[in-house]
Amino acid sequence: MTRVIHTGDTHIGYQQYHSPVRRRDFLAAFESVIDDAVDDDVDAVVHAGDLFHDRRPDLPDLLGTISALRRLDDADIPFLAVVGNHESTRGGQWLDLFERLGLATRLGEEPVVVGDTAFYGLDHVPASRRDELEYAYEPHDVDYAALVAHGLFEPFAHADWDTETVLTESTVAFDALLLGDNHKPDRATVAGTWVTYPGSTERASASEREGRGYNLVTFGGDGSGDGDAVDIRRRALETREFVFITVELHDGEGESRAREAVRAHDLTDAVALVEIVGEGDPVTPAAIEEVAESEGALIARVTDRREIDTEAEFDVSFADPEAAVRERVESMGLSEAARGIDETVRSEGVVDTNVRETVKDQISELIDDPGAFTPATGEDATSGGDGQEEPSGEERTEATERDGADGDESGGSSDEDERDDGAEGNDGDDGDHGTESIPSEQQVSMEDYL
């Protein structure tokens, strides 16, 4: 029998909402996983990628991670992992450094045997390169085998990777696929094989409402899975509380009603995410955020989802400023490629952390068509170039990429093949788009070590 903790998408170093406290929360969640591993004396900790949120973690995050891995090593518990898209670099990976230090094992085509189970690895591979994969793994001579991989696999949300192809083309028969990239915990069977995501260990976006945790996976023996070869159980982690508040306003109601609704919740040290819906008068989000913070919230964000007519010269919706932007973009005579990029960037159907890779795939598909980069004229300025309406970003997503996680925060794979994760989806409430500025002297690159 082999018992392992299956975790992933820890995103250490993510300064969510530009908050240093939230940055520390992500490291603390990873440390909690390590604590549980030591306390439960598991046989290994398996990490399915995106250990770091960025390819250049700052020094405190790097040192904190090494400290946690040393505690695991002191307990003789191996740390087995693959590389995710957020932390991937062109050359040596952070995981390689940890392996040189004797603190981790980077999984690959060779089996790493723990107990009666052989573990293999598949780092994140951009969609444009997956046709080249052969899924050739070296044989093993133990009872069970598991593939640890980072990507968006079927049959889960946002999937762009055919799980059945991986299983049927692999030279090893796997009993389980232990996955990372999708921040929503889930599991299913494909071709008789367990396929599971543990979810992220901290909420990396406002869409990740359910509690965070990890999987405890048992191969063989009584886990107790009633005799099943693979038993998967979810364990919860105690993380910072997120309080989701929906305020429905009726005619004649406004800021005072919103303030009252916010004060009805215990917000001490919590992240308060307030959503305004219904009718009622205009509300100033900053004023409501101030109320939440006065009630003890660490962070407060307010989103007004109502459509409120104003007497201004332009008819702009509080809930959908995208309409005004879209109207302006349509008048600019952009090329087909440019319109596609614009739709992808602004689409709610594309998780923010997926935008970079989605755009790259779109450009790759059009690169051999010079006409796609020719500025539109006449009717083409507001259509797809042939008089037909340009597909929406959401429709485009279905043909290319899906997220769980969050605002685009620089991470990703190499410069040519970046695609940010966060796979559970992002409803835009986070208010964090773009990389938090970190003093360069605190950032650390692999070139400093390898």
* pLDDT tens digits, 352-398: 667 777 777 777 666 666 666 777 654 444 444 333 333 333 333 33
Listed residue (168, 163, 203) closest to 183, CA to CA: 203
Cα distances (angstroms) measured from residue 450 to each of 79, 200, 371? 21, 29, 44
* pLDDT score at 189: 95
Buried-state track 324-338, b at ≥16 Cβ within 10 A, e below 16: eeeeebbeeebbbbb
86 is catalytic: yes
Task: With beta carbons less than 8 A apart as the criterion, state whether 304 and 283 touch.
Answer: yes
- Phi, psi (5° rounding) for residue 231? -115, 125
pLDDT digits (tens, 9 = 90+) for 101-126: 999 999 999 999 999 999 999 999 99
Mean pLDDT of 129-150: 95
Catalytic site residue from 6, 86, 124, 158: 86
Q: Could you give the angle at which helices 285-294 and 255-263 cross, rounded to 10 degrees? A: 30
* pLDDT score at 120: 98
> Which positions make up the binding site?
9, 11, 50, 85, 150, 183
* pLDDT score at 376: 66
Total-model pTM: 0.72
> Which positions make up the binding site for Mn(2+)?
9, 11, 50, 85, 150, 183
* pLDDT score at 186: 96
What is the Cα–Cα distance from 329 to 303, expressed in whole angstroms?
Answer: 24
What count of residues does the chain have? 450
Q: Is residue 100 very low, low, confident or very high in pLDDT (cuts 50, 70, 90)?
A: very high
pLDDT digits (tens, 9 = 90+) for 300-331: 999 999 975 555 444 444 555 666 676 677 66
| Strand order across the 230-236 sheet | 105-106, 79-81, 44-47, 2-7, 213-219, 230-236
